[in-house]
Structure formats: structure tokens, C-alpha cells
Homo-oligomer: A and B are copies of this chain.
């Protein structure tokens, strides 16, 4: 489900959080669907359970998932939360584009980088 990249420099916890956000945004999961348990996912990914725990807490406080004590964690159907995440990502990306253009990168160079990375992401699947 989630591919960790240890060499990317991105904290593992963030990668897990982003992974679930992406699955939801791309409709790879349905609202109400249950997430793996903290312990199970920790084993699958070979990661400390504390790291998964932290990721779930971040997801819950963002409204992306909700947790029922004793039952598990589930993707929420809170569209507002999903939208907020996407809007935030877009805002960050807009800022990055603005910075890049200010530093002298041109439209075609930016688009080239976008397609290059998106193609690469495709082939990784």
C-alpha cells in the first residue's frame, strides 16, 4: 500500500501520513474503509509502532481518519478535510512555482520537471 523511501530524507512519519492522504485523494480507498492496525502496519513496513501511532494521530487531528476505541481507525467521509488537505497542497505548490520562476526557471523547464517526476512515479507503481 505505502512505499517508504528511506533515502528521500522525508521523515518516515510524514511519508506515512502523505501516503494515506494520497490514497484518499486518488480514491484508492473508500470513506469508512478501515486502516490496518498500528501494530500490523508497523510490521508490514518494518517501522517502529510509535511512528505509525504518530502518523495516525496526525491524520486524525486533520480529520482524514477517525478512531474508534477498541475497533480501529477508519477513513472519514469528511469531504471538507479532504478538500482542506488538497487546497493546502496546492497552495504550497503555487508558492514553489512562484519561487522557482523568481529564481529564473521558465515555464517549459517547470513543466518538464513535473512530467519527468510524474512519469517516474507512474512507473514505480
Residues of A within 8 A of B (CB): 6-9, 11-12, 15, 18-19, 21-26, 61, 66-71, 74, 76, 85-86, 88-90, 92-94, 96-107, 109-111, 113-115, 117-118, 121
Contact = CB atoms under 8 A, between A and B. Distances in A.
A104 B9 CA distance: 19
B93 A110 contact: yes
Contact of A99 (B92, B106, B110): B92
The count of identical subunits is 4
Contacts of A99: 18, 89, 92-93
B86 A103 contact: yes
Given A90-B109, A113-B90, A21 B97 contact: no
A59 to B, nearest CB: 12
10 closest cross-chain pairs (CB), A and B: A25-B104, A96-B96, A89-B103, A107-B118, A18-B102, A22-B104, A93-B100, A25-B103, A7-B66, A97-B117
11 contacts: A7-B66, A7-B76, A12-B68, A25-B102, A93-B97, A93-B99, A93-B100, A93-B105, A96-B96, A97-B117, A107-B114
